[in-house]
Amino acid sequence: MNFPIESTGAFSFSTGMLMTFLIGVGFGFFLEKGGFSSARKLTAQFYLRDFAVLKVMFTAVVVAGIGFWGLVHLGMLDLEFTFINLTYIWPQIVGGLILGIGFIVGGYCPGTACVAATTGKLDALWCIAGIFFGIFVFSELQPALKAFQNSGEMGEVFVWQWLGVSPGIVLLGAVLMAIGAFSLGTIVENKKGSVVQPD
Amino acid sequence: MIEVTNYRDNPLIDPHLEIWEWQISVYLFLGGLVAGLMILNGLWRIRDREHETKAITNSAVLWAPVLISLGMFCLWLDLVNKLNVYRFYMTFQIKSPMSWGSWILFLVYPAQILAVAVAKGSDVFGGVLKGLNPLLQILKSITNGREKQIAWLNVVLGVMLGIYTGILLSATAARPLWNTALLGPLFLVSGLSTATAWNMLSRPTKIEHSSLAKWDFSLIITEMFLLLLILIGFLSGTEGHQSAGMLLLGGGFTAVFWIFVIILGLLFPLWLELREMRGHSTPAWVAPALVLLGGLALRFVMVQAGQVSHLPDTELLFGAVGH
Amino acid sequence: MSNEKPKPYWSPYMAGLGLGLVLLLAFVIMGQGLGSSGAFARLEYTLLHTVVPEHIESNPYMAHYFEDGANPLSNYLVFLVVGVLAGGFISGITANRFKKSVDKGPRISVKARFFLAFFGGSLMGFGARLARGCTSGQALSGGATLALGSWAFMMMFFAGGFLGAYFLRRQWL
């Protein structure tokens, strides 16, 4: 098999968008199942009361990461036709920080705000309105911020390249890190009895 | 668009593949919706059930003329020679669906006004329109005792309007996607479905809501069945029909058709209405809102995809117009 | 309408496994990860472009999305987010979690919560555009592909969260 299938021309753009929609259904479904439609559950991560954000995200990253690099290793997934986030280290560091602060202030991130809105959370609608406003502000100011947004450009660079090891080592490290963080998190959760459930 | 005739010998049709934009889709959607409102309202009255309604025979009746006017406004926006609109009514061309349509639209208004006159209660108009109530009383005294006839008039004109919104497209032989006899019935059923949805959003009584949900359930299934037949028809048809069908099955309109018309516009509301009937808690407005969205998407897909679909050269009747 | 009790959320590992497989599937089928903030931007630019086209065209950053008559909504992320809305709704309603409500801590008023939600959202909209992606586009998708900048983003995201949490105890606890 040659992955991504999209690059083989097996289906039209429009058919691809239908599949994308179905992928999105899965995305939204599992986000909601994980409890990411609740701002209280999401933010409880940062008060060390509910480790769902870390557990869900890291499990997903590790599962997808192993699958992704496994397929690349087997020569089945062609990196050339795969979208890899380019590294612009400074805007990513600053943007990540702003997003993290925005997350604890707003209670959701953009994707989870959508999911929360579909389960009737009115605060998520305000959060979405805010996201639109923030995008508007940035887009208006972008000509002035352009130099910074393009600073620290490193192109398509992977953590394992930067560390000078193989992808497998990095993934192994991520798995160990995940197991450690999950165990610690579970101990804390059990001690406090603070996992958030819907009411 | 060139008024009255819309066949392929019309020089504008072929070189410009997309001369009908959103206006026509919205017009066909609103036309179908109003047709459905007229039919539902008429049928409800014929079955002597208006004493238990609020939405179907009251608010819907008031909305129908507003919505059809909005649709006509869209249609008028689309006309090239906006002042020539009166010419529709200087002639009647038996072979032109557009001529039929303009006359049906002309007759729809009085029927709707009569329906307003026989609507329950004397305080149909409130707020700004309160001044119209004395006029309504006069109309009421004239129409008194003729409710059934008025109901039938609305049903008949509603069916004509609903089918016409489909025929308008299917009469264009040079567009294989429209060239199916089932387009009229499809648009009629879809119009009825959007009308039940509209009523479900107009704060119906409990009795109304459960009837509307049941009707909508059957209408959605009927609509899916018609769409299936249409698609089978395309695939087993001529080369032109097959390529038209492929526009929806892998071609350029696959995503919009399957996501907005089939999944979100039909399957989702069907599932939600089923949930509701089984007593699971379900927000009542979601299914009808999706039905309305799906109805609009269906008109959009059919109008846009239909304009892209064309006969292969071998089937061209008028070879003079190039691609 | 019956009043069924909301079902508890899944185990985070099961949800994470599902999410990871969906993410992998996205790469395998479409060659792209998951994301959402791009869809917000595209919808916003489209709306702005219909209202004030000249203004958008005069800003190269936004005008870029309309180059050669392109339709910004005819895009991977847009269809993905439409799916996210449907998927979130399916999961929420089948678990009886659909409820008109305001998710907030016990010590804050609804108005204050709305204000902070809007303000936090503004920060995120700004940050996501600056960093070329949000939690899903950068941390989740970029994280799985082991892109260096995305890992830096992820670390800073958690850092920002913990930093802000200190000042916002009143809102959540």
Q: How far is CA B279 from the centre of its chain?
A: 31
DSSP B273: H
d(CA B75, CA B17): 18
pLDDT tens for each residue of B236-261: 988 888 988 999 999 899 999 999 99
What is the phi-psi region of residue B175: left when phi exceeds 0, alpha when psi lies from -120 to 50, beta otherwise? Answer: beta
Tell whether domain B22-322 is in CATH 3.40.50.720.
no
pLDDT tens for each residue of A127-146: 999 999 999 999 999 999 99
Query: Which of B251, B263, B283 shows the shortest C-beta gap to A14?
Result: B251
Q: What pLDDT sits at residue B51?
A: 66
Distance from CA of A50 to the nearest CA of C (A): 10
Helix, strand, coil percentages in chain A from 3-state DSSP, rounded to 5? 75, 5, 25
Bigger pLDDT: B1 vs A38: A38
A105, HSE (Cβ side, Cα atoms, 13 Å): 24
Q: What pLDDT sits at residue A130?
A: 97
Whether the CB-CB separation of B188 and B156 falls below 8 Å is answered with no
Scan for tokens 């701002």, then name that residue. Answer: A39
For residues C76 and C110, membership in a common domain is answered with no
Last residue of a domain, one of C55, C83, C100: C100
Distance from CA of A30 to the nearest CA of B (A): 19
For residues C18 and C31, membership in a common domain is answered with yes
Residue type, A82: T
Q: What pLDDT sits at residue A176?
A: 97
With beta carbons under 8 A apart, name residues in chain B contacting A15.
250, 254-255
pLDDT tens for each residue of C55-89: 999 999 999 999 988 999 999 999 999 999 999 99
Q: Which of B280, B290, B300, B304 to mutate to test the interface with C (most CBs of C within 10 A)?
A: B280
- The length of chain C is 173
Q: Which chains touch A (3 or more CB pairs under 8 A)?
A: B, C
Residues of chain B with pLDDT under 70: 1-19, 50-52, 54-55, 57, 80-92, 94-95, 120-128, 311-323
For residues C92 and C113, membership in a common domain is answered with no
B146: which residues sit within 8 A by CB, 6+ positions away? B118
User: Is B322 an 8 Å CB contact of chain A?
Assistant: no
Q: What pLDDT sits at residue B178?
A: 85
Q: CB B281 to CB C2 under 8 A?
A: yes
d(CA A158, CA A80): 14
With beta carbons under 8 A apart, name residues in chain A contacting C55.
none
Give the structural domain span for C127: 103-173
User: Is B66 an 8 Å CB contact of chain C?
Assistant: no
What's the predicted TM-score (pTM) here? 0.91
Q: CB C1 to CB B263 under 8 A?
A: no
Q: How many CB pairs under 8 A join A and B?
A: 28
Distance from CA of C83 to the nearest CA of B (A): 9
Q: Which of A1, A109, A141 to mutate to test the interface with C (most CBs of C within 10 A)?
A: A109
Q: What pLDDT sits at residue A199?
A: 77
Mean pLDDT of chain C: 94
d(CA C137, CA C77): 10
Q: CB C126 to CB A137 under 8 A?
A: yes
For residues C24 and C50, membership in a common domain is answered with yes
For residues C144 and C156, membership in a common domain is answered with yes
Q: How far is CA C29 from CA A8, A185, B303, in A?
A: 10, 34, 30
Average pLDDT over residues A172-185: 96
Q: How many CB pairs under 8 A join B and C?
A: 25
pLDDT of residue A56 exceeding 90: yes
DSSP string, A36-87: TT-HHHHHHGGGTS--HHHHHHHHHHHHHHHHHHHHHHTT-B-GGGS--PPE
With beta carbons under 8 A apart, name residues in chain B contacting A17.
254-255, 259
Last residue of a domain, one of C66, C82, C100: C100
For residues C45 and C115, membership in a common domain is answered with no
Query: Which of A15, A21, A120 shows the shortest C-beta gap to B250?
Result: A15
With beta carbons under 8 A apart, name residues in chain C contacting A84.
142, 145, 147
Helix, strand, coil percentages in chain C from 3-state DSSP, rounded to 5? 70, 0, 25
Helix, strand, coil percentages in chain B from 3-state DSSP, rounded to 5? 70, 0, 30
For residues C87 and C110, membership in a common domain is answered with no
pLDDT tens for each residue of C108-132: 999 999 999 999 999 999 999 999 9
Mean pLDDT of chain A: 95
d(CA A148, CA A146): 5
For residues C36 and C58, membership in a common domain is answered with yes
CB atoms within 10 A of CB B263: 20
For residues C26 and C93, membership in a common domain is answered with yes
Last residue of a domain, one of C71, C100, C129: C100
DSSP string, B61-86: HHHHHHHHHHHHHHHHHH-SSGGGGG
For residues C91 and C107, membership in a common domain is answered with no
For residues C80 and C123, membership in a common domain is answered with no
User: Is B173 an 8 Å CB contact of chain C?
Assistant: no
- How much is the CA Rg of chain A, to the nearest whole Å? 19
- Per-domain residue ranges for chain B? 22-322
Q: What pLDDT sits at residue B316?
A: 44
Whether the CB-CB separation of B158 and B49 falls below 8 Å is answered with no
Whether the CB-CB separation of B43 and B152 falls below 8 Å is answered with no
Q: Which chains touch B (3 or more CB pairs under 8 A)?
A: A, C
pLDDT tens for each residue of A19-29: 999 999 999 99
For residues C108 and C47, membership in a common domain is answered with no
B316 burial (CB, 10 Å; 0-12 / 13-18 / 19+) is: middle
Q: CB A25 to CB C83 under 8 A?
A: yes
Q: CB A61 to CB C143 under 8 A?
A: yes
Query: Which of B251, B259, B283 shows the shortest C-beta gap to A12?
Result: B251
The tally of domains found in chain C comes to 2
